[in-house]
Amino acid sequence: MRFNQFLSVLLPACLFIIQDASVIGQNQPVATANYRMAERFSPTKIDRMVFSTRVTPSWMKTGNKFWYYYKKSDGTFYYIVDLDKQSKSFLFDNHEMARQLTLITKDPYDHQNLPDIDPEFIRDDRFFRFKVTSTQMVDVEVEEEEKKKPKSWASVSPDSTYVVFARDYNLFWIDKENYMKVLEDEQDTTIVEHRLTSEGEQYYAFGGGYTAQMNDDKKKIEEEKNKRRRANIIWSPDSRRFAVIRNDTRNIKFMWVINSLSDSRPELESYKYQMPGEEDPAESELWVFDMEAQKGDTLPVHAFKNQTVNVPRMPRSHKENLEDHTPAIWLSPSSDELYFTRISRDLKRYDVCRVDLKTKEVTVLIEERMNTYVDTRPPYLFRINLNGSGLRLLNPGNYNHQAVVSDSYRYFVNNYSRVNTTPRSEVRNARGELVMELETADLSNLVNAGYQFPEPYTVKAADGVTDLYGVMYKPFDFDPAKSYPLIMYVYPGPQTEAVNTSFSHRMDRTDRLAQLGFIVVTLGNRGGHPNQSKWYHNYGYGDLRDYGLDDKKYGAEQLADRHAFIDIDHVGIFGHSGGGFMSTAAMLQYPDFFKVAVSSAGNHENNIYNRWWSEKHHGIKEIVNNEGEVKFVYDIETNSEIARNLRGKLLLTTGDMDNNVHPANTFRMADALIKAKKRFDMFIFTGQRHGYGDHTEYNFWLTADYFAKHLIGDYSISTDIFEMRREHKMLPSERKSD
């Protein structure tokens, strides 16, 4: 066969093979990062496209009524709802309000652009008044003198006889007459105060709240301790007694961060911070004070070493919250008995107790014991008979619900949505029956900008049995013929999960990131949110580093099997705080699967994270020797221990003033990577706490650049982040540099 004849035979076959490959789904990889689409859905722009998404009822003093406001693209409207009449009406006419405000203030208003109105109802709720600021000086008659606002430090007794507060680490009180002087002039030298305690001292104070934001400046400490402060007390119903918990933090060691951006020289900030496993020789004390006898005493509540004590409070009604003062009242009709709870340091033992204040005898009413930890959570909304029968769901439907119950318990406001539905609000009665529709969120501007709802999905956990629930976010210009890198946004919990169940306009970590050209997914994991089951919630107990990683990896693989548009060879992962910890752990445990990670503010070293979260969710072992001495043993795996496993691209970030997850977590991780001779990237957000504050937008584009560079191969190389500069009005000099 001649060569040209060979080509004539081979070429059709080659063409057939190429055509067949396109038929079986050889998706083309994304080649360019869509910065413009991500910039279109910045938080500033979303604020112009998404307005009210839920009804927040503001209850009124008379009747079974509330008012609320709701903003849409055609303005903000105010309504009043009468539940007994099952009616909803406008609080005022927007056109008439605009006309009157324009006449009074001389500033122009129209019905779509009114000032914020916060009505204060007066005269049995028949009238309301509000404040508005004018750009001019105008003379307006004030019908009633404005009432003096109560002081935030004042703990007023239920009968208004006593006002208790803390100062100089001790407790004081004043009577009603002197409190009225305070409301007129807090510096009045004729105010008579009475001392209740004298043994309080720094870090062992009555009332608490003295150490927050204090540093080593002795002058500042003196100024702070002499201020009147809220005492955090709980009153008996008849005002005869009150309870207060006194904590001894003198032996808790300090942590420090440095404010490098302070006005003068860099400033050291000190704060008490207890690490997991550290010895705590102090015990919480429960004191009860008798106001008639003018003295207090401790109660014999100790049962477990390093226990936590709490005094439950009577729930406050909506109407009570409208009063000038709403005292905290303990959960008992009598001033001669007090209920309290105590939980052991390992959180395995929880008691509900009653103490007779005359005899100081303590009775245990309820005992809870668990091999992991006792946890309490607020319910979704149900009703049940007192004998345990007749359990009934009151807000049914495949939605996430937030309910606000009226004081009469006859009605509740129900806000509900899913990630893929428009938020709605309604009123239902105590039988769960619909009473009236209230609002549907206006998403028209968002949809017109190209927004599309994400897609919920279900996969199996790595055990092949447990159902896991997640959400998939696609680019709004999604092309099923393309192949997109996959990015997982993670937060391990265990107190929650990074999976939105309701519609959210906070899109930076999900919808918005996807616009650059990624499929972004969130997915629950065993050991996550407690609402699924106690077994599910506690799955990671004792294995806080690795427990969720198998499920994340297997879930991503299942999605890739279902969808040809997912490029499973280019998988990224990122998260903040616990998500920063988890994303780095994923890179180190599955280095051949996860290729790129951005880990922000991660608690990579949980042995230096706070005691309460780490000991609760990982566990701490209590050991009692033959002499009855109790010690606590804590051991946990860290990311630094497996730094040698890194193969992909890793960006670590932290705020240099993070006093939650201390920067030392990130620095120790970086040090381990350096010692393992690994290339990685690191970024410090200057002057920022745990949430990155006003550097949040910069953090988004830093993350976007990193994933675009290493997963797509196309990213911005301009020094200026033009997408951020469009967020504010540019100066002439900035325009020239464009």
Q: What pLDDT digit, counting tens, does each position of 463-474 carry? A: 999 999 999 999
Q: Say which DSSP state 710 is in.
A: I
Are 580 and 520 part of one and the same domain? yes
Are 356 and 393 part of one and the same domain? no
Has residue 336 been placed in a domain?
A: yes
Are 599 and 505 part of one and the same domain? yes
Are 124 and 78 part of one and the same domain? yes
Has residue 159 been placed in a domain?
A: yes
pLDDT category at 148 given cuts 50, 70, 90 is: confident
Confidence check: pLDDT of 140 > 80: no
**Residue 378 to residue 699: CA distance in whole angstroms:** 34
Q: Say which DSSP state 447 is in.
A: H
Q: Provide the token pair at 440.
A: 């549907």
Number of alpha carbons in the 13 Å side-chain half-sphere of residue 608 = 21
Instruction: Kindly calculate the radius of gyration of the chain based on its CA atoms and give it in whole angstroms.
Output: 30
The pLDDT of residue 734: 39
**Residue 137 to residue 117: CA distance in whole angstroms:** 20
What is the pLDDT of the chain when averaged over all its residues?
90
Residues with Cβ within 8 Å of 231's Cβ and at least 6 positions away in sequence, in order, are 153, 155, 164, 165, 166, 171, 206, 207, 244
> Would you list the DSSP string of 270-288?
EEE-PPTT-------EEEE
Domain end point (choices 342, 369, 396): 369
Has residue 350 been placed in a domain?
A: yes
Please list the helix, strand and coil fractions of the chain in percent, rounded to the nearest 5, in that order: 20, 30, 50
The pLDDT of residue 9: 38
The pLDDT of residue 223: 75
| CATH number of the domain enclosing 492 | 3.40.50.1820
Q: Three-state SS for 439?
A: strand
The pLDDT of residue 585: 98
Whole-model pTM: value is 0.90
The pLDDT of residue 728: 54
Confidence check: pLDDT of 732 > 60: no
Q: Provide the token pair at 305.
A: 């070493």
pLDDT digits (tens, 9 = 90+) for 239-282: 999 999 999 989 999 999 999 999 889 999 988 899 999 988 78
Confidence check: pLDDT of 558 > 60: yes
Q: Which residue has the higher pLDDT, 110 or 282?
A: 110
Report residue 160 CA to chain centroid gap. Answer: 35
| CATH number of the domain enclosing 356 | 2.140.10.30
Are 290 and 166 part of one and the same domain? yes
> 185, exposed or middle or buried, with CB in 10 Å at 0-12, 13-18, 19+?
exposed
> Would you list the DSSP string of 544-558?
TTTTTHHHHHHHHHH
Has residue 705 been placed in a domain?
A: yes
Query: What does the H/E/C string look like for 308-326?
Result: EEECCECCCCCCHHHCCCC
Has residue 392 been placed in a domain?
A: yes
In sequence order, the β-bridge partners of residue 520 are: 473, 487
Are 486 and 432 part of one and the same domain? no
pLDDT category at 388 given cuts 50, 70, 90 is: confident
Instruction: For residue 624, give the H/E element and its range.
Output: strand 621-624
Q: Say which DSSP state 182 is in.
A: H
Confidence check: pLDDT of 360 > 80: yes
pLDDT digits (tens, 9 = 90+) for 601-634: 999 999 999 998 999 999 999 999 999 899 999 9
The pLDDT of residue 264: 85
pLDDT category at 289 given cuts 50, 70, 90 is: very high
pLDDT digits (tens, 9 = 90+) for 516-527: 999 999 999 999
pLDDT category at 730 given cuts 50, 70, 90 is: very low
Confidence check: pLDDT of 397 > 70: yes
φ/ψ (deg, to 5) at 268: -85, 130
Are 301 and 405 part of one and the same domain? no
Question: In 566-593, which positions are buried (b, 16+ CB within 10 angstroms) versus exposed (e)?
Answer: bbeebbbbbbbbbbbbbbbbbbbbbeeb
**CB under 8 A, 24+ apart: contacts of 49-54:** 49/443, 49/445, 49/446, 49/449, 49/451, 50/441, 50/443, 50/445, 50/446, 50/505, 51/441, 51/442, 52/439, 52/441, 52/442, 53/417, 53/423, 53/441, 53/503, 53/505, 54/402, 54/415, 54/423, 54/425
Query: What does the H/E/C string look like for 210-225?
Result: CCCCCCCCHHHHHHHH
207 in Cβ contact with 256 (< 8 Å): no
Domain end point (choices 85, 100, 135): 135
Question: In 37-64, which positions are buried (b, 16+ CB within 10 angstroms) versus exposed (e)?
Answer: bbbbbbeebbeebbbbbbbebebbeeeb
Query: Average pLDDT for residues 182-190, to the nearest whole number?
Result: 93
Residues with Cβ within 8 Å of 562's Cβ and at least 6 positions away in sequence, in order, are none
> What's the total number of domains in the chain?
4
pLDDT digits (tens, 9 = 90+) for 13-59: 333 333 333 334 589 999 999 999 999 999 999 999 999 999 999 99
Residue spans of alpha helices (H) in 354-476: 444-448
Q: Provide the token pair at 414.
A: 């129900």
User: Does a cis peptide bond (omega within 30 degrees of 0) precede residue 494?
Assistant: yes
With vertex at residue 103, the alpha carbon angle to CA 102 and CA 104, rounded to the nearest 5 degrees, is 95
Are 422 and 352 part of one and the same domain? no
Query: Average pLDDT for residues 367-382, to the nearest whole number?
Result: 84
With vertex at residue 634, the alpha carbon angle to CA 550 and CA 302, rounded to the nearest 5 degrees, is 125
Are 435 and 545 part of one and the same domain? no
Domain end point (choices 403, 418, 441): 441
Residues with Cβ within 8 Å of 538's Cβ and at least 6 positions away in sequence, in order, are 372, 373, 494, 527
Has residue 115 been placed in a domain?
A: yes
Are 490 and 576 part of one and the same domain? yes
Confidence check: pLDDT of 398 > 70: yes
Has residue 127 been placed in a domain?
A: yes
451 in Cβ contact with 419 (< 8 Å): no
Instruction: Provide the residue range defining the domain that includes 83.
Output: 65-135
Q: Which of 22-31, 49-58, 160-169, 670-679 has the lowest mean pLDDT?
A: 22-31
Are 242 and 305 part of one and the same domain? yes
Q: What percent of the chain has pLDDT over 90?
A: 79
Q: How many CB atoms lie within 10 A of CB 130?
A: 10
Q: Which of 169-178, 224-233, 333-342, 652-661 has the lowest mean pLDDT?
A: 224-233
The pairing of strands 482-489 and 519-523 is: parallel
Are 87 and 187 part of one and the same domain? no
Has residue 24 been placed in a domain?
A: no
Lookup result for tokens 């949040």: 696
Confidence check: pLDDT of 108 > 70: yes
